[in-house]
Amino acid sequence: MVSERGLQVLQAIVQDYVETREPVASKSIVDRHAFGVSAATIRNDMALLEDEQLIAAPHTSSGRVPTDKGYRVFVDHLARIRPLTSAQQTAITTFLDGSADLDDVLARTVRALTRLTGQVAIVQYPSFAQANVSHVEIVDLGGRLLVIVVTDTGRVSQRIIPLPDGLDEGDIAQLRARVSVVVTGRSVRDGAQTVAATLAEPASPTRLGGALEAVLRVVGEELEEFRQDRLIMGGTANLARSEADFRGSIYPLLEAIEEQVTLLRLMSEMVADHEGLAASIGRENEPFGLAEASIVTGDYDATGSRARVGVLGPTRMDYPTNLAAVRAVAHYLSRLLEDDDASH
C-alpha cells in the first residue's frame, strides 16, 4: 500500500521526468521538492513505488521513471488540471473565431490544439446521420456547376462538376428545384436513401434528365460522406520531434493516423469522467497496436451530437496541461457550434 507521501513522490517523479526526460533520483527530488525528509527516506518511498510497479529503473540508471501504471495513478488521482493562461485562452479564441463553417472550425481546432500542446491533435467529426438537409444550391460557374449541400447542423459540402452542354439559367433553376424535392427537409440518412432510389430508376433521355442524374450522384456521395465517422488531424510532425520517447518505432502511430479506423475505435471505447475527459495510456492501447502512445480526449457537443477532440503522443507527456487544453478547446468548440446553430 502506497502512503500519502509515496503518492506525492510519484507525482514529483512524473513531473520531473516529463520536464527533463531524465530518470529521477532521490537526491534530485530532495533538491527540487520541499518534502522535509532525507534522501534515504525518499529512497524507501521509491522502493515501495517500485514494488507497486508504479516506477521502474531504466537500464542501470540510479534514477527512476514512471511506468504506464504510474502514469495512470497520476492522471486519476494526482494530476491537477492547471487553468490555461490568458495567453493560451486568447490563442484558442484567435484560432477559432471567424470560422466559416464546420469544416473550417474543426481545421482551426486541430491547429489550436497542436499549438497549445505540441502533440498530434485529433478532432472527431460529429455523426451527421440524423442531421437534416436544409438547403441545396446549384450555381453556374461558367462551364461548370457548383453543387452545395447544407445541413441544419452547419455542415457544408461543395463539389464542382462539368456543366452539361446547352443548360441555361432556367434549366439550372429547374435542376435546383428537382434536387431539392428529393433531399431537402430529409435527414442525411433518408436523403441518401432517396437519392439512391431515384438513381435506380431509369434516367430521362432528355438533356435535363442527364444533368439531374449527374447532380444527384454528387449529392448522394456527399450525403454518404456526412454519415461516415472520420477524423481531422494536425501536428503529425511533432511525433518525429518526440521520437526519442518511443522505445520502438513510431511507424504504428503513423499508420494509425493514416488509417483513422484504429483511432476511431480507440476513441469510441474511452470512458469519460464527469467533465467529459478521458485518457488512455500506454499498454492500455495495446489492443490497438499503440502500446507506446497515450491519447487524451474531451467531449464536445455539436447541436446534440457528441464527438471528441484530443491529442495523441508519447506516454511521457504533460497530462495536466494537455487535459486542460483539451477541456478548454472542447468547451469553446461546443459554445461556438451552439451559437452558430442558434444564429441559423
How many angstroms separate the CA atoms of 125 and 154, rounded? 12
Distances in Å between the alpha carbon of 233 and those of 90, 123, 151, 181, 256? 22, 6, 23, 36, 11
299 pairs with which residues across the strands?
A: 308
What's the first-to-final CA gap in the chain, in angstroms? Answer: 57
Residue labelled with grid coordinates 434516367: 203
CA dihedral 275, 123, 296, 85 (to 10 degrees): -70
pLDDT in tens, the chain (344 residues): 788 999 999 999 999 999 999 999 999 999 999 888 999 999 999 999 999 999 999 876 679 999 999 999 999 988 788 888 888 888 888 888 877 677 888 899 999 999 999 999 999 987 766 688 999 999 988 888 999 999 887 778 899 998 877 788 898 999 999 999 999 999 888 999 999 999 988 877 777 888 889 999 999 998 888 776 788 999 998 888 888 888 878 888 888 888 888 898 899 899 999 889 999 999 999 999 899 999 999 999 876 677 899 999 999 999 999 999 999 999 998 888 876 655 54
Whether residue 139 sits in one domain with residue 123: no
Dihedral of alpha carbons 257, 261, 264, 270, sign? negative
- Give yes or no: residues 336 and 257 share one domain: yes
Q: Specify the pLDDT at position 166.
A: 76
| CA dist list (Å): 201 to 67, 110, 204 | 61, 43, 9
Distance CA 155, CA 35 (A): 54
Cell match 467533465: residue?
275
Q: Which domain, by its residues, includes 15?
A: 4-78
pLDDT at 304: 62
Residues 74 and 109 in one domain: no
Beta strands in the chain (DSSP E): 55-56, 65-66, 120-124, 133-140, 144-151, 156-162, 231-234, 277-281, 293-302, 305-314
The rounded distance, in Å, linking the Cα atoms of 294 and 71 is 10
| Cβ-based neighbour number of residue 277 at 10 Å | 20
The pLDDT value given to residue 318: 94
From residue 109, alpha-carbon distances to 152, 229, 234, 259, 331 in Å are 21, 17, 9, 21, 12
Cα 103 to Cα 42: distance, rounded to the nearest angstrom: 51
Which run of H or of E encompasses 175?
A: helix 169-183
Residue 325 shares a structural domain with residue 184? no
My answer on whether 110 and 155 are in the same domain is no
Domain holding 208: CATH number?
3.30.390.60
**What is the domain-level CATH number for residue 312?**
3.30.450.40
Whether 156 and 222 map to the same domain: the answer is yes
Please state the domain count of the chain. 3
pLDDT value, residue 26: 92
Same domain, 104 and 31: no
